[in-house]
A and B are shown apart, each in its own frame.
Chain A
Amino acid sequence: MTLNISDLFTPATVAQWTNTILATASALGLPVTSWQSGGVGRTILSVVASQMAATDDVVSTMAQAGFLDSAAAVTPDPSTGGDPAGGWLDLLAASVYDVTRIPATFATGSVTITNTSASTYGPFAAGTYHVSNSATKSTFSNASVLTISAATTTTAVFNADVAGTTGTSSPGAINTPVTSLIGTTVSNAASLVGTAAESNTALVARCRLRLQALSPNGPSGAYQYFALTAYDLLRAEIPSVLLTGGPITRVSVSSSKTTGTVTTTIANVGGQVTGITNFPITAASTATPIVITANGHGLANGAVVTITDVTGNTAANGTWVISAVATNTFELTGSVGNGTYVGGGQIDGGDLGQVDRVLQANAVPSAITAVTTSAIAIPVTVVVNVWVPAAYASAVTGVVQAALATYFAQLPIGGVSVNAPNILPYNEFIGAVFTSASYIKQVTGTLNSSTSDIPLLSNQVATINGSPTINVFST
């Protein structure tokens, strides 16, 4: 006799085991009705029943661990506080699908320190000067040696001390020097964005997409899989390439009926993925380092570029970190020219270019034209009013900020279709805030000063415009 899958997944309780053991004992002719509660027979039986129930629980969990959805159910989700090492789902994903969970990333970005005193502070070794976000209480440390000169402003790169979304900070939210120095204040002009570990739901979906990625014929799932996995694949390259905006979290694949061209639209946790693809080169100097000319390239210092098809000065071909960026030129750090530029060459640069490189190498069949584009970020002005008991008034701002960041980071490209296609649904947004903490009693708010859904196009992704306004009312 085989057991039904729901029987396999459901462990019997201690009481059920007790009853089964008693019934069997009775069938074996033992005088179970005369055994007193607390007596030797009953006590031994109770101990064995508890032991069987505990074993049954483990066995049922192991049975559930064999399937993606049920394995997810028995694996505490690392994206919401579960063990970062994962659990059964991670074992199944790795061993059957060769898919590993994308880990949480540290929020990283520039913080400006204003020193109005006459003292110079430092140098501080990397990781020894600390600032914090007063709302979320998350702390950040300097990424490299830092000296804060007297009566100046100093801007330096800081990393969150803890990986994940807790480090995500809107402009101006990093406002407190933890390393207390007289006459100093801190602030961040741009957002710092950390990403949570890949959720169980996302990992399950990526495992299923992995099957389509087994094919060299370009099913749409292959494009989705390699875009979502690009962060890991690039990180594993030698030298390692880091997507500065974090992993790609959302993908949409479409094709043109008239041209057959496949378009993969991608978004990261911040929405827009910066960079260029197949951008033409007009010159590559025979110098050390090589200076590339590509009019209006739009890249920034530190971006990673992959250059292909340059003839003449072929040393330019390869993957490089760029520096000395000007409007139309940049240097390839560490390069040495090897000839006179003859012609040709294109750039895959920045996060967008690097993801495109992964897709072209892994997902796109020969004879197929495929392009990679970023979703267009649509900033939405967010205002939230929350009512909480007075005891939670100070804590709720950070909680709501985190919930909003998570909600907007997960909105699909093109929004969702609830009451209408392609919208940022107002009610879902309110619900995301309301469910962020059990002590929140009431939530109201607006999106772009309205209580209506926000319409989106199929290649647009909604983002928070600046910092959300969060008004807290005590009940």
Chain B
Amino acid sequence: MSALGIRDLVQAISPTWLAGIQGVAAGVGQRLLYDFGLMSDVVLEKLNQGVKARMPTECDPSALALIGADRSIPQGPNEPDNSYRVRLRRSFETWQKAGSDQSVLIQLLGYLSPNTPQVTIVNDTSTWQTYRANADPASAPFTVKSNNWTWDYRTQQKNWWQEWVIFYSATGPWTNEGTWGDGQLWGDGGTWGSTATEQDVTAIRQQIVKLWKGAHASVQWIIVSFDTTLFDPAQSAGGGVNPDNNFGHWSKLVSGVQVPARFDTAIYWDGVT
């Protein structure tokens, strides 16, 4: 939609003595009216854009953050504006699914776009819901019901509201930052053990998982795995692939020696209740 063209209107309705004859230079009065009409057009265009500013598919990119705040959907750090606009446009429909595991997964995919990793939510009764890498969030997650999720014998109660979020980040968005004692420094912009930023962790924990999960759901841990063979719904419990019922404590006793209990090619962020 174009501006209303007040200056053209002024030209059209002005008598000839004021507007001048076509092809002949306009007089002072006409030029003044043109000037004032142009100013009116400027204000009308501002009004036009001011109304569009609240429309996610029409607004200037600078308005997206405001719309996102109003709809409680943050833009991912690398998420293209165009895909974010679509997420915002669908926000009222999306919020109707809040409280479900699928809604958590969809928001995680959106936040991490354009190159999304495989993301899974598995609960304590071994129901795995997965969006594969670069999946279409309009589809349903791939679901596997198994009997292979045994996090820890000390807390194991097989409660369906206890959940784990798993990112399979072998090819990004984050990489492993080495191991303890390798000489890398604190304060490099990443978080402990990975290139995920503090902003990433905060957004994922507080603005996505906490907001979109059911109030009853208790996310025990958020796991970032850098090894695609780990946390496999098709494999049995333990076996060096899935938790072996000893993951609740940092170490376990093997042949009289305390060894790391969890996979060291993954990192573990605190969960959210």
Contact = CB atoms under 8 A, between A and B. Distances in A.
Given A25-B31, A211-B92, A219 B214 contact: yes
Nearest to B104: A219
Interface string B89-103: 001100111111001
A3 interface: yes
Given A8-B46, A21-B36, A63-B47, 6 more contacts: A5-B60, A30-B32, A215-B97, A255-B216, A260-B159, A260-B218
A53 B66 CA distance: 25
B215 A48 contact: no
B49 interface: yes
B49 A255 contact: no
Interface string B178-221: 00000000000000000000000000000000111111111010
A7 B42 CA distance: 12
A121 B273 CA distance: 61
B140 interface: no
B216 A261 contact: yes
Interface size classification for chain B: 35 or more
B19 interface: no
Contact of A52 (B34, B39, B63): B39
Contacts of A48: 36, 39
B60 A215 contact: no
Interface residues of A, number: 56
Most chain A CB inside 10 Å of its own CB: which residue of B46, B70, B216: B216
Interface string B34-51: 111011100100110111
B162 interface: yes
A6 B32 CA distance: 30
Contacts of A67: 53-54, 63, 66-67, 69-70
B210 A63 contact: no
B161 interface: yes
A420 interface: no
Nearest to A217: B99
B72 A260 contact: no
A117 interface: no
B157 interface: yes
A182 interface: no
A48 B34 CA distance: 13
A33 interface: no
Interface stretch (A159-167, A220-228, A291-299): A220-228
B28 interface: yes
Interface in B47-76: 47, 49-51, 53-54, 59-60, 62-63, 66-67, 69-72
Contact of B38 (A4, A24, A220): A24
Contacts, number: 167
* Smallest CB-CB A-B distances: 10 pairs: A217-B99, A63-B50, A66-B54, A260-B161, A220-B215, A2-B60, A215-B98, A219-B99, A5-B62, A219-B98
Nearest to B215: A220
Contacts of B91: 211
Contact of A255 (B36, B71, B100, B273): B273
B99 A215 contact: yes
Contacts of B92: 211, 214
A47 to B, nearest CB: 10
B215 A211 contact: no
A185 B169 CA distance: 76
Interface string A1-35: 01111111000000001001100110011100000
A35 B5 CA distance: 28
Contact of A5 (B63, B99, B215, B216): B63
Contacts of A255: 161, 215-218, 273
A254 B272 CA distance: 11
A59 B47 contact: yes
Contact of A56 (B32, B34, B46, B49): B46
Nearest to A259: B159
